[in-house]
Amino acid sequence: MEKLLSNPIVTLRAIEPTDLDLLYRWENDTDLWAVTDTLAPYSRQMLWQYLESYTGDIYASQQVRFVVTLTATGEAVGLLDLMNFDPLNNRAELGLYIATEHRGKGYGRHALHLIEGYAAGHIGMKQIYVKILATSTDCLALFRSEGYREVGTLNAWVKRGTTYHDAILLQHLL
């Protein structure tokens, strides 16, 4: 039986202070910076302060963050965020990161199913949206295959070096 934040493959759990080293490694992965608007590395101290102040209250901070873990072993394989939460219009932006060594195994797809059920059933959200670089074909394919509908292109949305890149805006009604 599937629980609210768990299925036989993955579990979404709260972020913990013990995740400091994990966050340090993943947040400082420069390949990820292209999609997170990160400009400089995070120090352990900065991440520790974030962990200490994090409440998980989406209504207070407009964000909730989960660690994606393997249900069988508890191994952390990624992060999932609902951010820019708009309680008036019942929507939020979704961010999903699966560590490179765990990609292509269906963990992102399972995490999406769980967060959609949580967002709709527990928080009462009507929609989730994502912004994905137009060049991120694997990521776009995942979201499209899960019913996210392309609703627009954000032209020259992301600047990397001296080059601007388009982002695709996809929306999923829950």
**What is the domain extent for residue 119?**
10-123
The total of other beta-carbon atoms located within 10 Å of residue 39's CB is 6
**pLDDT tens per residue across all 174 residues of the chain:** 468 899 999 999 999 999 999 999 988 887 777 667 777 888 889 999 888 888 889 999 999 999 999 999 999 999 999 999 999 999 999 999 999 999 999 999 999 999 999 999 999 999 999 999 999 999 999 999 999 999 999 999 988 889 999 999 999 999
Q: Residue 66, by phi and psi: left (phi above 0), alpha (psi -120 to 50) or beta?
A: beta
Is residue 108 assigned to a domain?
yes
Q: Has residue 134 been placed in a domain?
A: no
Does residue 75 lie within any of the structural domains? yes
CATH of the domain at 116: 3.40.630.30
Residue 105 is assigned to a structural domain of this protein? yes
Residue 160 located in a structural domain:
no
> Model pTM?
0.91
Diameter of the chain measured on Cα atoms: 50
In a domain? residue 87: yes
The domain tally of the chain equals 1
